[in-house]
């Protein structure tokens, strides 16, 4: 039980900065860039496939892109 509490404390201290107001404000421009790509990609796919779109693929892409950009601090959106 003690190691679970220690692990929980460690994980909480590690993850807390990712949910701060400052971090989320800094993340907003990145989210806007990838959101636009998300919408444009869905529109392009829908126009090529009679309106049929694989939303799971697009949601996976946008989530991975936003989180990896902020985690690794490398932005391929520019």
Q: Within 10 Å of residue 30's Cβ, how many Cβ atoms?
A: 16
Q: One digit per residue, pLDDT tens: the chain, 78 residues?
A: 557 989 999 999 888 887 788 888 888 888 898 899 999 999 999 999 889 999 999 999 888 887 787 666 545 555
* Burial tier of 34 (Cβ tally within 10 Å: 0-12, 13-18, 19+): buried
Overall pTM > 0.75? no
Which sequence spans correspond to the domains of the chain? Answer: 25-78
Using N-to-C axis directions, what is the helix angle for 21-48 and 55-72, rounded to 10°? 150
């Amino acid at each position: 039980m003690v190691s679970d509490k220690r692990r929980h404390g460690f994980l909480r201290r590690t993850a807390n900065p990712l949910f701060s107001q400052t971090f989320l404000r800094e993340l907003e421009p990145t989210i806007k860039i990838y959101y636009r790509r998300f919408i444009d990609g869905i529109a392009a796919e829908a126009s090529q496939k009679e309106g049929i779109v694989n939303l799971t693929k697009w949601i996976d892409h946008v989530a991975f892109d936003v989180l990896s950009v902020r985690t690794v601090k490398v932005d391929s959106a520019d």
